[in-house]
A and B are shown apart, each in its own frame.
Chain A
Amino acid sequence: MADGRGGTLRAYRALLGAQARSQTAYRTSFAVDLVGNVGATAFDVLTVLVLFGVTRELGGFTLRETLVVVGLSACAFATADLLVGNIERIPQYVRTGLLDAVLVRPLGALPQLLLMDLPLRKVSRAVFGLAVWVTAVASAGIDWTPGRALLVVLAPLAAVVFFGSIFVATATVSFYWVESGQLANSLTYGGRDFTSYPVTVYGGWFRALFAYGLGFAFVSYHPALALLGRADPLGLPAWVGWAAPGVAVVAAALAAAAWRVGIRHYRSTGS
């Protein structure tokens, strides 16, 4: 099946190329969007800087430390939003018949939808997010070890997978309930905002639910602790900082299962 697999990869690459040609067909608007899309991520970082204008510490973390948390969150969210974010447009795919069209082709439905609607205009945002991450890590005074060097690469990848899983899992709700956009947004964008700060700034049931119930603490907070060499003020052991890839794999498996069940409930449209 080696040839079959290569053929499948070539097919996906062809879909990606077609999407690139389609999007760049409108040059000016593409260029404008490239610039405009940096805005949202820049705003996340600015918010943190403004906060530190009025306080010296946030939940027990300094500005440089907090920037590692927000940098990881921003970089991963922007990348996941680029790669998977458009899956929230399922109701539109249903209405235009794109979902029917991809289902009668010999490729996976989810990768086809992602590639055929890949918002290349958001590339600028992902690049900006990466720049924030690199800057934050470089200026945080990290005591480098081989382990931390590995984590600095692995943590953003795990976070991308985690955010991507949240996008896919929440999007599948619209197979049952078309008007589910707001619920999905509260988890995806809410999750991004939650992971922009150390979880110590939140309290009570809200922290318990988002940080550990849904697993958002593993996206940026715990990896940041491991990189900075700080003990968790909430008392979790140090190895938790390394749990991010495992949590991401579990999240991806759950999201894939939700997708598979969801697509069987797909109702299509009248004609």
Chain B
Amino acid sequence: MTEVITARGLRKEFTVHVKTGRIRRARRVRAAVDGLDLRVERGEMLGYIGPNGAGKSTTLKMFTGVLTPTAGEVRVCGLRPVAQRTRLALRIGVVFGQRSQLWWDLPLRDSFDLLRHVYRVPAAEHAARLRRCRDLLDLDGFLDVPVRQLSLGQRMRGELTAALLHGPEVLFLDEPTIGLDVVSRQAVRGFLAELGSTGDTTLVLTTHDLADIERLCRRLVVVDQGRVVHDGSIADLHRRYGSRRLVVADLDAPLPEPPVLPGAPLREVAADGRRLVYALESAGVAEVVSGLAGVASLRDVAVVEPDIEEVVARLYGAPAPAAVPAP
């Protein structure tokens, strides 16, 4: 069995009380997650994005046994998360960006030792995993510092280590890069990329930072208002919403008439005709460049990846398509 996560019709409702008058309040039921279907295979790196309140955290909490679903079915590592919570806990790792698994008043090193007891990890295995994390995440400088004195970036590196010391099959990360500075963010991304590259650990991460996704995840799930509005690769997303890679060519001198290239419509003429921008539809970069080089002398050529933020922003709030077409 290689399917690590299976969710069918997963739903979570919350009851909220809305003020409708001076004293009167109405009970409203709001679905934070509204019929989620998802299958994740072993070794996948899945990015989960959506606007605030889209149900990302709620979904992760149902996968990890923290929250009980209102309806639907969910299996993680073949287990039912709430009913078999403690058994599942041994096989998954969880990092909640705004929560901590560490002991606030004790040195970071003590938290790791405590977690060894909590997860009943043999000493040799624990030492080997800790050694690897110390090297990759550069922990040695602050292992003896109480957690409350760590910077956010240091603490997050500690949290990642804490989540991995028992060798989980699936690692759930809720906003792992939120609030981090550029250097820490790079360190965390690099570490996760390395972790995912071995193919043993399945990674599911939610984020607001699309750079996390572009760097780490081949598969992208976009949720909005509790529903999946896209499930596929980043390339699929661009294909589906018509966003194209662009070739930006800077010419030595403007042409009287920009050339028409098959499969690559002209998008923009700038800098008094010295800059031409073509969108790559069916044509490749080489065809566009050689087509241009035949009629003009090129100073510089750049290929610009489409802006994923823009595509995703268009997805949010748009009515969900009836079905997600297969690529």
Contacts and interface: CB of A to CB of B under 8 A. Distances in A.
A13 B117 CA distance: 9
Contacts of B89: 104-106
A15 B119 CA distance: 12
A18 to B, nearest CB: 5
Contact of A97 (B98, B110, B119): B98
A22 B89 CA distance: 25
A25 B149 CA distance: 14
Contact of A22 (B53, B97, B106): B106
A103 B66 contact: yes
A105 B118 contact: yes
A109 to B, nearest CB: 8
A183 interface: no
A4 B175 CA distance: 34
Contacts of B119: 105-106
Given A7-B120, A100-B66, A104-B89, A271 B98 contact: yes
A91 to B, nearest CB: 16
B66 A106 contact: no
A29 interface: no
B90 interface: yes
B118 A15 contact: yes
Contacts of A56: none
B67 A104 contact: no
A190 interface: no
B105 A25 contact: yes
Given A15-B114, A268-B61, A270-B57, A104 B106 contact: no
B316 interface: no
B65 A104 contact: yes
A15 B111 CA distance: 10
B233 interface: no
Given A104-B66, A104-B94, A271-B175, A11 B120 contact: yes
A233 to B, nearest CB: 48
Contacts of B105: 21-22, 25
B184 interface: no
A107 interface: yes
Given A104-B65, A270-B57, A18 B110 contact: yes
B6 interface: no
B118 A14 contact: yes
A14 B99 contact: no
Interface in B80-107: 82, 85-87, 89-90, 92, 94, 96-101, 103-106
A264 B90 contact: no
Contacts of B85: 103
B241 interface: no
B14 A267 contact: yes
A261 B108 CA distance: 35
Contacts of A108: 86
B82 A264 contact: yes
B68 interface: yes
A10 B117 contact: yes
Contacts of B118: 11, 14-15, 105-107
Given A100-B99, A101-B101, A106-B87, A14 B117 contact: yes
B88 to A, nearest CB: 8
Given A104-B64, A105-B118, A264-B82, A21 B110 contact: yes
A97 B99 contact: yes
Given A107-B86, A266-B67, A101 B117 contact: no
Nearest to B57: A271
Contacts of A15: 114, 117-118
B100 A106 contact: no
A11 B117 contact: yes
B250 interface: no
A7 B118 CA distance: 8
Interface in B94-143: 94, 96-101, 103-106, 110, 113-114, 117-120
Contacts of A268: 57-58, 61, 66-67
Contacts of B66: 100, 103-104, 266, 268
B300 to A, nearest CB: 44
Contact of A100 (B90, B96, B103): B96
Given A14-B118, A271-B98, 19 more contacts: A14-B113, A14-B114, A18-B103, A22-B103, A22-B104, A22-B105, A100-B96, A100-B99, A103-B85, A104-B92, A105-B101, A105-B119, A106-B89, A107-B118, A265-B68, A266-B67, A268-B57, A271-B97, A271-B175
Interface of B: 14, 53, 57-58, 61, 64-68, 82, 85-87, 89-90, 92, 94, 96-101, 103-106, 110, 113-114, 117-120, 146, 174-175
6 contacts: A18-B114, A103-B66, A106-B86, A264-B68, A266-B67, A268-B67
